[in-house]
Amino acid sequence: MLRIGVVGTGHMGKYHINTLSTIPDISFVSICDKDEQTLKELSERYGVKAYTDYKKFLNSVDATIIAVPTYLHYKFASEAINMGKHVLLEKPMTKTIYFAEKLFELAMKKNVVLQVGHVERFNGAVQELKNIVKNPHLIQAQRMSPKSRITDVGVVLDLMIHDIDIVLLLAGSNLIDISAYGSRVYSSFEDIASATLYFENGTIAHIAASRITENKIRNLAISQQGSYIFLNYDTQEITITRQPVSDYTVLKEEIKYKQEFVVEKVYVHKENALRLEQMHFIECIKDGKEPKFSPEDDLAAHRVAKKITDCIYRNWRKQ
Can you give the pLDDT of all 319 residues of the chain as single tens digits?
999 999 999 999 999 999 999 999 999 999 999 999 999 999 999 999 999 999 999 999 999 999 999 999 999 999 999 999 999 999 999 999 999 999 999 999 999 999 999 999 999 899 899 889 999 999 999 999 998 888 889 999 999 999 999 999 999 999 999 999 999 999 999 999 999 999 999 999 999 999 999 999 999 999 999 899 999 998 889 999 987 655 555 555 666 565 667 888 888 878 899 999 999 999 999 999 888 889 999 999 999 999 999 999 998 987 7
Q: Among 135, 137, 143, 126, which residue's Cα sits nearest to residue 198?
A: 137
pLDDT of residue 251: 56
Give residue 53's pLDDT.
97
DSSP 129-167: HHHH--S-SEEEEEEE-SS-S--SS-HIIIIIHHHHHHH
Are 21 and 5 a contacting pair, CB within 8 Å?
Answer: no
Beta strands in the chain (DSSP E): 3-7, 27-32, 49-51, 63-66, 86-90, 114-117, 138-144, 175-183, 192-199, 204-210, 217-224, 227-232, 237-250, 255-266
Show the domains of the chain with their CATH numbers: 3-117 (3.40.50.720), 121-272+302-318 (3.30.360.10)
Instruction: Give the pLDDT of residue 151.
Output: 81
Is the Cβ–Cβ distance between 72 and 133 less than 8 Å? no
Q: Minimal CA–CA distance to 312: which of 189, 168, 204, 185?
A: 189
Could you tell me which of 42, 49, 4, 48 has the C-alpha nearest to residue 25? 4
Helix (H) or strand (E) holding 105: helix 97-110
pLDDT at 167: 97
In one-letter notation, the amino acid at residue 270 is K
Element (H, E) at 275: helix 273-287
Q: How far is residue 250 from each of residues 246, 247, 253, 254, 260, measured CA to CA in Å?
A: 14, 10, 8, 6, 18
Our measurement of the distance from residue 66's CA atom to the centroid of its chain's CA atoms, rounded to an integer in Å, reads: 15
Q: What is the pLDDT of residue 246?
A: 58
Cα dihedral across residues 168, 80, 73, 10: positive or negative: positive
* pTM reported for the whole predicted model: 0.89
| The pLDDT of residue 266 | 84
Cα torsion through 169, 172, 177, 183, rounded to 10 = -20
Q: What is the pLDDT of residue 253?
A: 60
